[in-house]
Amino acid sequence: MKPEFSSILFDLDGTIVDSAPGITATLAYTFEQLGLPVPPQEELVAYVGPPLLDSFRDLAGFTIEESQHALEVYRPEYLRAGAFNATVYPGVEEVLRAISHSGVPLSLATSKPEAPATLILEHYDLLKYFDVITGASHDEVRSAKADVVEEALARLVLIGADTSKSVLVGDRSHDVHGAAAHGVPSIFVRWGYGSPHEESGAIAVADTTDQLLIHLFG
């Protein structure tokens, strides 16, 4: 069985793993360390997915300098305790395994920095399914999803992959728009953190991993 696509890109948070518990707990810690009121849980969940510097700016109203400082508080605590406070969504490993067995190149494409993204995939024994790992750069100069997708495509080309018919699987509007910026269609998964209006622009929507397999393999 061969996928309909020549290469596949996968988001991480909200697509492969439910990472919200670890992220929101670390965000709460960060606000506490900064001496600020901790936002309600439903507000903290909105931080999950987009680049964190953008979320600190757009959701918390921080300046560039304040956002950078908040990130410096957040990162070590997330690596210490938050990164592994997550759960792999049921059925996702089966999808990754099917892609891997098909021989179609698979790249991670996440706005999370590559170091913690790699640690998470290693922790859940999922790293073996990926040909390329692409995430935000450590300094988050590359963190917008369009920039991550561009880098993922470039790295796939470097290993000899055909990117002429790529697709991205994700759960937020950032995934849809970031892929579209490079002419890459997206499949939107509904088990993540996105709201219904964020599906706009995706070529398909999956409520379950069985549906995702159908969209990928036809």
Q: What is the pTM of this model?
A: 0.91
Taken in order of first residue, the domains within the chain and their CATH numbers are: 7-18+87-217 (3.40.50.1000), 20-82 (1.10.150.240)
pLDDT digits (tens, 9 = 90+) for 119-178: 999 999 999 999 999 998 877 667 789 999 999 999 999 999 999 999 999 999 999 999
Question: What are the respective helix, strand and coil percentages of the chain, to the nearest 5?
Answer: 50, 15, 35
pLDDT digits (tens, 9 = 90+) for 26-85: 999 999 999 999 999 999 999 988 888 889 999 999 999 999 999 999 999 999 989 999
Other CB atoms closer than 10 Å to residue 13's CB: what's the count? Answer: 25
